[in-house]
Amino acid sequence: MKKPVNVAITGAAGQIGYALAFRVASGAMLGPDQPINLHLLEITPALNALQGVVMELNDCAFPTLNKIVATDDAKVAFKDCDVALLVGARPRGPGMERKDLLLANAQIFSAQGKALDAVANRNVRVLVVGNPANTNALIAQRNAPGLNPRNFTAMVRLDHNRALSQLAEKTGSHSTQIKKAIIWGNHSATQYPDLHHTLVDGKQALSLVDQKWYAETFIPVVQQRGAAIIKARGQSSAASAASAAIDHIRDWVLGTPEGDWVSMAVPSDGSYGIPEGVIYGYPVTCKDGDYQIVQGLQINDFSRQRMDATHKELLEEKDGVKELI
């Protein structure tokens, strides 16, 4: 029997948390032979709702679920955690400016970075889902000097999966036939979904679709997919966000398939002209529990412009929270 892995989920009684906890507990993230200790964090007013989630988790009788800790204390939730899924974040309230939202979340993520620093496993892998995810991940990282800075990542995998699904529909293929899509930059409307290196059944994606569809339909549809789901469902996407979080951690820990890559927002290191100092969506391959940014891709002017625009937005977000990093 393998040693249990401690997985912390913040905002565990929220929409995404509710969809995520059950799949993590069932083995969908780390495999059917990996016991999981779930550490669920919520704010105090949501503890009752969290108890309901715990009851349901117990009622599933998952063979892989070893133990549940439910708490409103970050230092309890993050104690010895190996994976931290930071989902809980402050939603935009009525009349709230973008800057207020940034600051409210910056406070949450600086406190969580400090708590991770104090008690988490020194090699904890952190995935930030709560928005603004890239900047929240940067804040948590900067507040956790004792942890591996490479291990602070943010989620662009939902955008990546959305790109696969749009392209599959357009080309009459299945998402499994599509390789090497990329989401560059910020998990926001400035993200750049890049198909220049993408293959559909081994053929160049951009030879199968016209440039007008790519520039004027595909890119905005992927960028605005979250808003389209809110319009249709009356609520933001939750199950697909949870599923992408599972994909992100599974591939990071267990590896990406040969001949493909995935998109992860990771600390920039100068690759592709993005200087150190932001958490930026890149194509990565994963092996032995680590990730590497894919190197050597040709970047044309169309891509360069969009990659720089999303970087500029990240710098602006960073400037808005400079007191906390």
**Which residues sit at the interface with ligand NDP, rule CB under 6 A?**
10-11, 13-17, 41-43, 46, 87-91, 108, 129-131, 133, 158, 226, 236-238, 241
Whether residue 15 is annotated as binding a ligand: the answer is yes
Residue pair 306/184 in contact by the 8 Å Cβ criterion: yes
Task: Find the helix packing angle between 98-119 and 301-320, rounded to 10°.
Answer: 80
Catalytic residue, candidates 39, 160, 187, 311: 187
Whether residue 296 is annotated as binding a ligand: the answer is no
- Looking at the Cβ atoms of 104 and 209, the one nearer to ligand NDP is 104
Whether residue 295 is annotated as binding a ligand: the answer is no
Which two structure tokens, joined as six digits, stand for 131?
């928005």
Whether residue 137 is annotated as binding a ligand: the answer is no
What is the closest distance, in whole angstroms, from the C-beta atom of residue 233 to ligand NDP in the complex? 11
- Which residues does 45 contact at the CB level (< 8 Å), separation at least 6? none
What is the closest distance, in whole angstroms, from the C-beta atom of residue 207 to ligand NDP in the complex? 30
What is the closest distance, in whole angstroms, from the C-beta atom of residue 199 to ligand NDP in the complex? 26
- Looking at the Cβ atoms of 237 and 268, the one nearer to ligand NDP is 237
- Looking at the Cβ atoms of 24 and 205, the one nearer to ligand NDP is 24
Whether residue 98 is annotated as binding a ligand: the answer is yes
What is the closest distance, in whole angstroms, from the C-beta atom of residue 112 to ligand NDP in the complex? 7
What is the closest distance, in whole angstroms, from the C-beta atom of residue 108 to ligand NDP in the complex? 5
- When CB distances to ligand NDP are compared, the closest residue is 14
Whether residue 120 is annotated as binding a ligand: the answer is no
The answer to whether residue 187 is catalytic is: yes
- Looking at the Cβ atoms of 17 and 271, the one nearer to ligand NDP is 17
State the Cα–Cα distance between residues 73 and 75, nearest whole angstrom: 5
- Looking at the Cβ atoms of 77 and 205, the one nearer to ligand NDP is 77
What is the closest distance, in whole angstroms, from the C-beta atom of residue 318 to ligand NDP in the complex? 18
- Looking at the Cβ atoms of 65 and 245, the one nearer to ligand NDP is 245
H, E, C per residue of the chain: CCCCEEEEEECCCCHHHHHHHHHHHCCCCCCCCCCEEEEEECCHHHHHHHHHHHHHHHHHCCCCEEEEEEECCHHHHCCCCCEEEECCCCCCCCCCCHHHHHHHHHHHHHHHHHHHHHHCCCCCEEEECCCCHHHHHHHHHHCCCCCCHHHEEECCHHHHHHHHHHHHHHHCCCHHHEECCEEEECCCCCCEEECCCCEECCEEHHHCCCHHHHHHHHHHHHHCHHHHHHHHHCCCCCHHHHHHHHHHHHHHHHCCCCCCCEEEEEECCCHHHCCCCCEEEEEEEEECCEEEECCCCCCCHHHHHHHHHHHHHHHHHHHHCHHHC
Whether residue 250 is annotated as binding a ligand: the answer is no
Binding-site residues for NAD(+) sit at 11-17, 105, 112, 129-131
Binding-site residues for substrate sit at 92, 98, 131, 162
Catalytic (active-site) positions? 187
